[in-house]
Amino acid sequence: MRHNQGVELAFVLVSLAVYVGYHLWLFVLLPRVRAKQSSSSNRVIISKVSNDVRTAWTYLSASDKTDSGVPAVQTLRNSIMAASFMATTCGLMATSGVLQVLTDDQRLGQIRKLGDLDPAVDLAGSRGLVRAEWKMAFALFLLLLALLLFVQSIRLYSFLAYYIKVQASDEQFRSVASMNLTLAMNRRCGHCWTAGVRLFYAFIPALLWIMGPVTLLVTTVVVVAVLAISDEITVGHDFSRVIGSRHLPADDQAEK
C-alpha cells in the first residue's frame, strides 16, 4: 500500500468511527446514562421520547371507541406521506443524479480531478485508495438502502392503518396481546424510518468522499455535529419519564 493510500485509509476509518461511534453513543450508551440520572434532568433524547410517545399513542388509539380509529388512521396517513416523500427523494437522487454520473465518462473524469485537489493526500499521478466510481457506487448503495427502508416503513404503516381501524371497531381485537402486536408494528415502522433517515445522512459524506478524504472527514464531523444538536433537547423537566409512565395497559402496569 502506497503512502497516499494509507493516509486516505486512515481518514476513512476515522470518519467511520466518528459516525458509527456517535450512533452507538446515542442509541446505546446515552439512554443508560440518562436512566441513571435523577428525574430532574432536563436533557431529553428525541428517539427515547419518540418510543414513549409511540407506546402511549398506540394504546390510546387502539382503545378509542368514540371515532372508530379515524384520528389514528389520519396520523398514520401523515406518516405514510412523510415516508413516501423521503422514498421519492432517494429514488430521484439515485436515478437522476448518482446513477447518471456513474454512466457518464466525461463527468467521471471531472470527478476524478476533484480528488487530485485534496490538501492531505496528493493523488495526482497516483492511484488513490478507491476509484471515484467505487466511491459513488458506495454512496448510491447507501441511498438505495435508505429507499428500501422507507418503502418498508410505508408498507408497515399501510398495514397498521387497516389493523388499528379494525382494532378500534371490533371488541375481539382489543386484547392486551392485540395491542402489543399493534405496538410492535408501530415501533418497527419507527425503526425503519429512523434507519432510513440515518442512512440518508450518511449518504452526504459518502458522496463528498469523491472530493478527497479530508472532505469526507470534515463533512462527517459537520453532519454528526448537526445531529448531536437536534437529537437531544432541553426541557423544563424529565419529559420522557412522564410519557413513559402513562397510558400503559393494565397488564403492563402490573408488571412494573
Residue carrying C-alpha cell 437522487: 93
> According to the model, what pLDDT value does residue 92 have?
94
pTM: predicted TM-score of the whole model, two decimal places: 0.83
> According to the model, what pLDDT value does residue 255 have?
43
Q: CA angle 142-94-141, nearest 5°?
A: 25
> According to the model, what pLDDT value does residue 78 have?
93
**Strands in the chain per DSSP E:** 43-45, 232-234
Q: Can you tell me the distance from the alpha carbon of 150 to that of 60, in angstroms, rounded to the nearest whole number?
A: 26
> According to the model, what pLDDT value does residue 247 have?
47
Residue carrying C-alpha cell 470534515: 218
Residue-level pLDDT, tens digit, the chain, 256 residues = 566 778 888 999 999 999 999 999 999 988 888 777 755 567 788 888 888 888 888 888 777 666 666 788 888 999 999 999 999 999 999 998 898 888 888 887 887 777 777 776 665 445 567 888 889 999 999 999 999 999 999 999 999 888 887 776 666 666 677 778 888 899 999 999 999 999 999 999 999 998 888 899 999 999 999 999 999 887 765 454 554 454 444 444 444 4
> According to the model, what pLDDT value does residue 204 have?
96
What phi and psi, each to the nearest 5 degrees, are found at residue 173?
Answer: -100, 15
Q: Which three cell numbers stand for residue 55?
A: 407506546
Q: Which 3 state secondary structure label does DSSP give 256?
A: coil
Q: CA angle 68-70-71, nearest 5°?
A: 120
> According to the model, what pLDDT value does residue 254 have?
41
Alpha helices in 94-249 (DSSP H): 99-102, 105-115, 132-169, 176-208, 213-230, 239-244
Cβ–Cβ under 8 Å, residues 84 and 134: no
Cβ–Cβ under 8 Å, residues 64 and 255: no
